[in-house]
């Protein structure tokens, strides 16, 4: 009986690691499509929807800097535009990758409470990669909560 339980645990762990790898690869691929001529800071992101589908996005800059959109939000909006409203995981890939404050708030709006956030500090020219994992609950202290606001 214990062997069988361990086997199930190992199977879940392998599936989770496989999904993490897929998310990371999708974020890296999206990064290549980045339009970042002003900052020269390409970012890619991928999200795992509750349905199991992966949606990606890249940062898109504009000469009017305030009109730029981060990769994380592009990926999330891509998922939402396909009818997905609940995310199980978010992955961002860039040099020193971390979601900005605006992205953190958007992530909290759509991600499940225990959703995983994967940050891939990826420097392909130097062949360096460092991956960190956290949960959405750790991203933003005291976020704006629409349900608490009566929305």
Are residues 13 and 19 in contact, defined by beta-carbon separation less than 8 angstroms? no
Helices 71-81 and 101-110 meet at what angle, rounded to 10?
20
Q: Is 84 a catalytic residue?
A: no
Residue of 72, 109, 126, 148 with catalytic role: 72
Q: By the 8 A CB rule, do 133 and 116 touch?
A: yes
Length of the chain counted residue by residue: 151
Q: Where are the alpha helices (DSSP H) in 32-129?
A: 71-81, 101-110
Tell me the catalytic residues: 72
């Amino acid at each position: 009986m214990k062997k069988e339980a361990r086997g199930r645990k190992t199977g879940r762990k392998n599936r989770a690691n496989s999904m993490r790898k897929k998310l990371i690869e999708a974020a890296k691929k999206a990064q290549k499509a980045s339009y970042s001529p002003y900052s020269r800071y390409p970012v890619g992101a991928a999200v795992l929807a509750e349905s199991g589908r992966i949606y990606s996005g890249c940062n898109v800059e504009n000469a009017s800097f305030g009109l730029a959109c981060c990769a994380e939000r592009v990926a999330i909006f891509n998922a939402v535009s396909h009818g997905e409203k609940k995310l199980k995981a978010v992955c961002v890939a860039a040099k020193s990758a971390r979601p900005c404050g605006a992205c953190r708030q958007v992530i909290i709006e759509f991600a499940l409470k225990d959703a995983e956030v994967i940050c891939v500090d990826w420097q392909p020219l130097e062949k360096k990669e460092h991956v960190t994992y956290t949960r959405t609950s750790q991203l933003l202290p005291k976020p704006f909560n629409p349900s608490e606001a009566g929305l």
